[in-house]
Structure 1
Amino acid sequence: MFGLFNSGPKLSIDEVKAGMASGEIVLVDVRDAMELRGSGKAKGAINVPLMALQMKTNPSSPECLPEFKQGKRIVLYCASGARSSGAARMLRQFGHESVDNLGGLRDWANGGGEIVRV
């Protein structure tokens, strides 16, 4: 099912964790707060709900978060990969050049990624 929502090359969880550790990757959870409370989130991920994505990730927005002004590789996930796929397209429209869809939180966990409760 992941292939249906793929928006770029499939990264391994180890690649994402290494990129986060080196400061080269920003991991973004696009699910809403209720979903995060229910299932937790990937360790080290920042949460930018899909509804707030435009104002928080568009470099021309006064509310753009610093993480999205630095030219880092952006890796997105949601519950299944559908929302993060659409989010990846949106970020590319804003001029972000390196954006990948990891898929769902389950992909993170199945790849050995740690989940933290929020």
Structure 2
Amino acid sequence: MPVTSKQLLEAAHAAVPKISGKEAQEMAANGALIVDIRDSSELAATGKAAGALHVPRGSLEFKACSESATHDKSFAKDRPIILHCAGGGRAALAGKLLLDLGYQKVYNLGGFKDWAESGGKVEK
């Protein structure tokens, strides 16, 4: 039976734990990978979390899958991964995708503002 986008989003939010900006900063300091899945135009307007890897949501499965020709070795199944977008919805969906690919330590920071407003360093 087909599902709606609302149902997909609800399932993603239920599967991927939400963390605060402070928690994300602590995890990043201990080696977690921060992945910004926003579009390039969004990054150009606001900058990104210092040290974050930019992977637009449409490319995520190819960068995260170890069998892909364009796999990014920053993605390791034993490394915690923190995702964020502008508001948290795309990050939740991306997190669910990573869980489906076999990643287990996947977290949703929410939006970029959650990082910036919690005192996280930003690079332009």
Question: Which deviations, in whole Å up to 9, do the C-alpha atoms of 1:16-72 show, x marking residues without a partner?
Answer: 22322232x000000111111111111111100011111001122122111113520
- 5+ residue gaps, structure 2, are 1-9
CA contact (8 A) 1:10 1:102 kept: yes
TM-score, normalised to structure 2's length?
0.81
Asked if structure 2 preserves the Cα contact closer than 8 Å seen for 1:59 and 1:94, the reply is no
Matches within 5 A, 1:100-111: 100-111=107-118
Q: Does 1:10 align with 2:15?
A: no
Q: Distance in 2 between matches of 1:84 and 1:19?
A: 17
Match of 2:60 among 48, 53, 58: 53
Matched with 2:3 is none
- Count of matched residue positions in the alignment of Structure 1 and Structure 2: 113
Matched, 1:89 2:107: no
2:50–2:121: 8 Å Cα contact kept in structure 1? yes
Among all aligned residue pairs of Structure 1 and Structure 2, give the percentage whose two residues are the same amino acid: 37
CA distance in 1, matches of 2:21, 2:111: 12
Amino acid at match of 1:17: Q
Taking only aligned residues, the RMSD between alpha carbons, in angstroms, comes to 1.8
Q: Which amino acid letter does the alignment assign opposite residue 15 of structure 1?
A: E
Which of these two proteins has the greater Rg computed from alpha carbons?
Answer: 2
- Residue 114 of structure 2 aligns to which amino acid in structure 1? D
Q: Are 2:46 and 1:39 aligned?
A: yes
Q: Which of 14, 27, 44 is 1:19 aligned to?
A: 27
